[in-house]
A = this chain, B = another copy of it.
Amino acid sequence: MHRRPDLPAAVRIWEVAPRDGLQNEPSVVPARVKAELVARLVGAGLTTVETSSFVDPAWVPQLADAEEVFSLLEPLRATPDHVHGAALHFPALVPNLRGLERAVSSGVRDVCVFASATETFAWKNLNRSRDEVLERFVPVVTEAKARGLGVRAYVSMCFGDPWEGPVEEADVVSVCERLLEMGADEVSLGDTIGVATTGQVVDMLDALARAGVPARRIAVHFHDTYGQALANTLTALSCGITTVDASAGGIGGCPFAKSATGNLATEDLCWALAGAGVSTGVDLDRLVETSVWMAERLGRPSPSKVVRVLAQRSQGTRSEQ
């Protein structure tokens, strides 16, 4: 254990494999497998597991069974909140009031909306201007808060856009400010195409701090397209961020963004944080087991390096027995 004094003592991992991960898989996974994935992730110590999406099933057929998944998870969701020493959260994406209603009917207590830092991606992904996307979420966030739900806002393309190239910090700051003003509890800064580097991360978080946005209301969401996700995440932590998004086994991405590849693998992050003496509450062996199990269901090996090495090692141990 080599505690890094510049990192926080504890980090909340916002696990996105069942939603952001499976949304990007070519194959559709049965609802019972999704529910088992969520349950296994909770069993591995993850307390926030983004579970599904209530967007129009025509957009994301992979997650068309959100109601069924939440229904299968009812026993787990009924678990007393503090059985793990922390409240359990099963957030879901909602695109509009209709999605919010569906989510609430399924007993969802935490919802996520999604905006874009750039005009082009707003048009490509949501067929509206960046500001129209934001205004469209005002009634959704207002209603969600009125019902006492937790609200997170994703902001896509914070560090680069495949059509526009570099993104102005001021644009990201203004979108984040608008989302927090309308009532979101936190914003998650997405490097949707995985181009960010550590210097950019420092500058962006500086810009948000200068604008008065507290670090506790910011999460980071890095993709590993250029192999930078872990370095970027650790840099964000050294800037005071304490919530980071990751995907068990490294699965997922964004099907609507050119060149997007997988999310930061939760296991690679946990290896780094365990080594730095940062508490996550995750049982790495159980998490690796879960990702190996899921990779079998997806029919391809996990892209996570930690999963590959530890899975191989435990197989080796078994075959030596």
Chain A interface residues (CB < 8 Å from chain B):
1-4, 196-200, 202-203, 224-228, 230-231, 234-235, 259, 261, 265, 268, 271-272, 274-277, 304-306, 309, 312-313
Contact = CB atoms under 8 A, between A and B. Distances in A.
Contacts of A274: 197
A261 B226 contact: no
A3 B274 CA distance: 29
11 contacts: A196-B275, A197-B271, A198-B276, A199-B275, A199-B276, A224-B305, A227-B304, A228-B230, A228-B268, A234-B235, A261-B309
A253 to B, nearest CB: 12
Nearest to A276: B199
Given A2-B199, A226-B271, A227-B306, 13 more contacts: A1-B199, A197-B271, A197-B274, A225-B309, A226-B268, A227-B268, A227-B271, A227-B304, A227-B305, A230-B231, A231-B272, A259-B313, A261-B309
Nearest to A1: B199
Total copies of the chain: 2
Nearest to A2: B199
A82 to B, nearest CB: 30
B4 A202 contact: yes
Contacts of A276: 197-199
Given A230-B230, A271-B227, A261 B203 contact: no
A1 to B, nearest CB: 8
Contacts of A1: 199
A301 to B, nearest CB: 13
Given A259-B309, A277-B199, A228 B4 contact: no
Given A228-B271, A230-B231, A4 B198 contact: yes
Contacts of A230: 227-228, 230-231
A235 B313 CA distance: 28
Given A226-B306, A305-B224, A306-B226, A2 B202 contact: yes
Contacts of A235: 234
A203 to B, nearest CB: 5
Contacts of A277: 199
A1 B200 CA distance: 8
Contacts of A275: 196-200, 228
A206 to B, nearest CB: 10
A46 to B, nearest CB: 19
A51 to B, nearest CB: 26
A241 to B, nearest CB: 15
Nearest to A199: B2
